[in-house]
């Protein structure tokens, strides 16, 4: 079982945060649990190299069978991810707004959904998917993905990085200390202009994105420090108090924080004894 993360090629450092590789093989006749996936401040490209995934949107019951590569927009609600008995995925997590620079797609159209990445990138991505399916070497898979994305990055190299792009990247480092006013100032934009830029680049407004970034910080803090009290987590993540944090959990997952993590403990990687 592989649960590994890679740094992108140095040519992609301004675009990509990390590349994850996940390879699970479950014993025959195993009842597979789903992975509850709360909103994260990220837009991604997922490559399903072995097996596949069905995504359930529990807020409305909708299910979506993922293609062999998918471009994921910003989510504002929990999704449940169901995977096949063998599952090998490469997940490329872009820096906030960077995937917009690759595609020029208005990301408000991708909120809470994913689209076939081959429909966006065309035959070159179809060829990449074929090559990924033809190898069993993890390192070669990562190299192939890096090479493809370096070509795409080269096509955008003449575009200057706008102040809003720099502010977006800075935001994730200190979400608990920022406000919409701070972001507007660092982006050299009015708050109305900032709203339009965020909807274009990440799919949601700056206030919502800040809430998701803060919530995501609390989620990973709880995973890494399970014995820390919720009150302490709320304070460290910039919440006014525990009730403020609890409200976000209700809003983003439909459950209390405790209920959500009871489900999280049954996720596939937990069953296999792997860390987050």
**Mean per-residue pLDDT pooled into runs of 10, the chain (276 residues):** 91 93 87 89 96 93 94 96 94 94 92 96 97 97 97 74 80 72 84 92 93 93 92 92 95 93 80 56
pLDDT of residue 181: 86
pLDDT of residue 250: 95
Spatial distance between the Cα atoms of 233 and 222, rounded to a whole number of angstroms: 7
Start-end of CATH 2.60.120.10 domains in the chain? 2-158
Spatial distance between the Cα atoms of 252 and 259, rounded to a whole number of angstroms: 13
pLDDT of residue 173: 73
Which of 223, 222, 207, 199 has its CA nearest to residue 171? 207
φ/ψ of residue 250, rounded to 5:
-60, -45
Which pair of tokens denotes residue 47?
């490559």
Task: Kindly report the CATH number that applies to the domain delimited by 2-158.
Answer: 2.60.120.10
Q: How far is CA 16 from the centre of its chain?
A: 11
Its pTM surpasses 0.75:
yes
CA atoms within 13 A on the CB side of 201: 26
Contacts of 3 (CB under 8 A, 6+ apart): 22, 269, 274, 275
pLDDT of residue 29: 81
pLDDT of residue 273: 55
DSSP helix, strand, coil percent of the chain (3-state; round to 5): 45, 20, 35
pLDDT of residue 275: 54
Count of residues for the chain? Answer: 276
**Is residue 97 classed exposed, middle or buried when 0-12, 13-18 and 19+ CB atoms within 10 A define those classes?**
buried
Check: CB of residue 129 under 8 Å from CB of residue 47: yes
pLDDT of residue 161: 74
Spatial distance between the Cα atoms of 223 and 226, rounded to a whole number of angstroms: 6
Start-end of CATH 1.10.10.60 domains in the chain? 163-264
Task: Kindly report the CATH number that applies to the domain delimited by 163-264.
Answer: 1.10.10.60
């Amino acid at each position: 079982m592989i649960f590994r993360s890679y740094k992108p090629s140095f040519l992609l450092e301004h675009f990509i945060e990390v590349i994850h590789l996940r390879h699970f093989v479950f014993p025959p006749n195993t009842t597979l649990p789903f992975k509850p996936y709360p909103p994260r401040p990220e837009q991604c490209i997922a490559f399903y190299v072995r097996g596949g995934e069905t995504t359930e949107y529990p807020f409305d019951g909708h299910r979506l069978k993922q293609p062999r590569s998918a471009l994921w927009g910003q989510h504002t609600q929990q999704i449940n991810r169901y995977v096949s008995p063998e599952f090998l995925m490469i997940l490329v997590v872009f820096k906030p707004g960077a995937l917009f620079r690759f595609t020029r797609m208005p990301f408000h159209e991708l909120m809470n959904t994913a689209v076939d990445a081959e429909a966006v990138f065309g035959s070159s991505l179809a060829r990449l998917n074929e090559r990924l399916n033809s190898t069993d070497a993890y390192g070669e898979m990562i190299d192939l993905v890096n090479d493809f994305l370096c070509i795409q990055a080269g096509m955008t190299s003449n575009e200057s990085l706008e102040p809003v792009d720099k502010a977006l990247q800075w935001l994730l480092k200190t979400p608990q200390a920022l406000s919409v006013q701070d972001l507007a100032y660092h982006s050299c934009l009015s708050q109305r202009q900032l709203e339009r830029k965020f909807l274009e680049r990440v799919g949601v407004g700056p206030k919502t994105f800040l809430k998701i970034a803060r919530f995501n910080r609390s989620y990973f803090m709880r995973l890494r420090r399970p014995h820390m009290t919720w009150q302490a987590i709320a304070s460290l993540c910039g919440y006014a108090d525990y009730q403020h944090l609890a409200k976000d959990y209700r809003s983003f997952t439909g459950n209390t924080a405790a209920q959500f993590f009871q489900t999280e403990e049954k996720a596939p990687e937990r069953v296999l004894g792997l860390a987050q």
